[in-house]
């Protein structure tokens, strides 16, 4: 669904900054968050707003932690359940608007829609005896995941639900891992009439070898989630009169059982003479169990709200990859929205789907906490 771009003039900007105040209560959190443009590295305004919002919704406490994340805690019981979303977005501001039950704006799908669903559902549930339900709005998910990495030693949940768009009737059980490397080919400068290969030609040949290796690996693997996805994300080259160089930046989405170190080993075997540097924060793939307390709560909740539940496995990477293994607890991702709209200029969320997701999540929380 495409629409005409709205002109972002001064009057429209003024409406955008205050629209959540006059919105129906059921959409105040969602509209307020989407109005706050918060690309990675510039999340502070949105974080401050959300902490205040959670306090107003009756959370036991809400605060900003040392990593810059917004934290809301409901209840003070010994058992802990974490709902973790992210408050940052990719760059590229989209004018906020609501048209025919559709909310347009950066982050409406990825992932302020799911995060708002978490905040409102926990507020509606209220305190539950013996439980502490924690909502975490992480910063930096779209970059190195530093917000999620910061919270790891500070919580010990029995269960974690991560907020990512999967549509209201689907549960995301797995995400691919990711890693990237920079590969530099260097050689002496040669005359243009020389038959010796230039650094760019050697680099181009290397990329062909990487693609061939990837195709051979995937040949016996029919499911996309089990395949490796390589991409050439950047290419730089230059020379100084004496030497010439070409540098490739290669990223990979890797399946379960294939670790970032395996990806690095492949590159090093294909380019033994190159200078290779690797990503500081590689992330292994994650695949959750189908028979967990979370799944057993979501399936009947979706069915009781008129849906036919389905499992999905994503080719992207999420904070779920980090937190579920670190906390050694069952985890999955859930939230309203069409993930094919992530990062696009037409990002939008269907408001009735947001409402449906909240009803399901409240049902899930009641089943998990026996409230």
Phi, psi (deg, nearest 5) at residue 196: -70, 140
Contact call for residues 347 and 108 (beta carbons, < 8 A): yes
Instruction: Please identify which of the residues 16, 43, 141, 319 carries the catalytic annotation.
Output: 141
* Packing angle, helices 293-304 and 351-369, rounded to 10: 130
Is 88 one of the annotated active-site residues of the chain? yes
Asked whether 130 and 77 are in contact (CB, 8 A), the reply is: yes
Cα–Cα dist 339/255, whole Å: 19
Residue 353 in tokens: 């789907």
CA of residue 28 relative to chain centroid, distance: 23
Pair 150, 157: CB distance under 8 Å:
no
- Decide: helix, strand or coil at residue 43: coil
Within 10 A of 216 (CB to CB), how many other CB atoms are there? 9
Contact 71, 63 (CB under 8 A): yes
Catalytic residue selected from 16, 35, 43, 88? 88
Tell me whether residue 34 is exposed, middle or buried, using C-beta atoms within 10 angstroms of its C-beta: 0 to 12, 13 to 18, 19 or more: buried
In the annotation, is 338 catalytic?
A: no
Q: Which of 92, 85, 145 is nearest to 112 (CA)?
A: 85
Instruction: Give CA separation, 342 vs 2, 70, 72, 290, 362, in Å.
Output: 14, 22, 25, 26, 25
Residue 178 pairs in a beta bridge with 253, 283
Q: Among all residues, which ones are annotated catalytic?
A: 88, 141
């Amino acid at each position: 669904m495409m629409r005409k771009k709205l002109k972002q003039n001064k009057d429209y900007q003024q409406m955008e900054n205050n629209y959540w105040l006059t919105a129906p209560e059921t959409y105040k959190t969602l509209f307020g968050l989407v109005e706050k443009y918060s690309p990675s590295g510039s999340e502070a305004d949105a974080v401050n707003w959300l902490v205040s919002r959670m306090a107003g919704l009756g959370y036991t406490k809400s605060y900003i932690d040392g990593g810059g994340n917004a934290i809301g805690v409901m209840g003070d019981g010994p058992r802990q359940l974490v709902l973790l979303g992210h408050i940052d977005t990719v760059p590229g501001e989209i004018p906020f608007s609501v048209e025919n039950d559709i909310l347009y704006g950066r982050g409406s799908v990825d992932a302020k829609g799911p995060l708002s669903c978490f905040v409102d559902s926990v507020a509606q549930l209220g305190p539950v005896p013996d439980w502490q339900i924690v909502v975490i709005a992480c910063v930096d998910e779209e970059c190195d995941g530093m917000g999620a990495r910061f919270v790891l030693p500070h919580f010990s949940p029995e269960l974690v639900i991560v907020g990512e768009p999967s549509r209201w009737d689907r549960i995301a059980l797995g995400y691919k891992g990711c890693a990237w490397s920079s590969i530099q080919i260097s050689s002496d400068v040669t005359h243009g009439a020389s038959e010796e290969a230039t650094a760019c030609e050697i680099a181009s040949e290397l990329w062909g070898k990487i693609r061939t290796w990837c195709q051979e690996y995937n040949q016996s693997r029919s499911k996309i989630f089990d395949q490796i996805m390589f991409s050439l994300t950047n290419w730089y080259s230059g020379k100084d009169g004496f030497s010439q160089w070409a540098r490739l930046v290669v990223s990979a989405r890797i399946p379960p059982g294939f670790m970032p170190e395996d990806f690095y080993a492949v590159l090093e075997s294909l380019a033994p003479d190159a200078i290779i540097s690797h990503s500081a924060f590689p992330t292994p793939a994650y695949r959750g169990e189908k028979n967990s307390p979370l799944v057993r709560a979501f399936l009947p909740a979706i069915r009781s709200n008129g849906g036919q539940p389905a499992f999905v496995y994503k080719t992207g990477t999420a904070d779920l990859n980090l937190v579920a293994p670190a906390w050694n607890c069952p985890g999955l991702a859930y939230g309203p929205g069409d993930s094919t709209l992530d990062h696009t200029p037409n990002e939008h969320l269907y408001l009735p789907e947001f409402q449906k997701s909240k009803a399901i999540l409240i049902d899930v929380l009641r089943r998990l906490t026996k409230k």
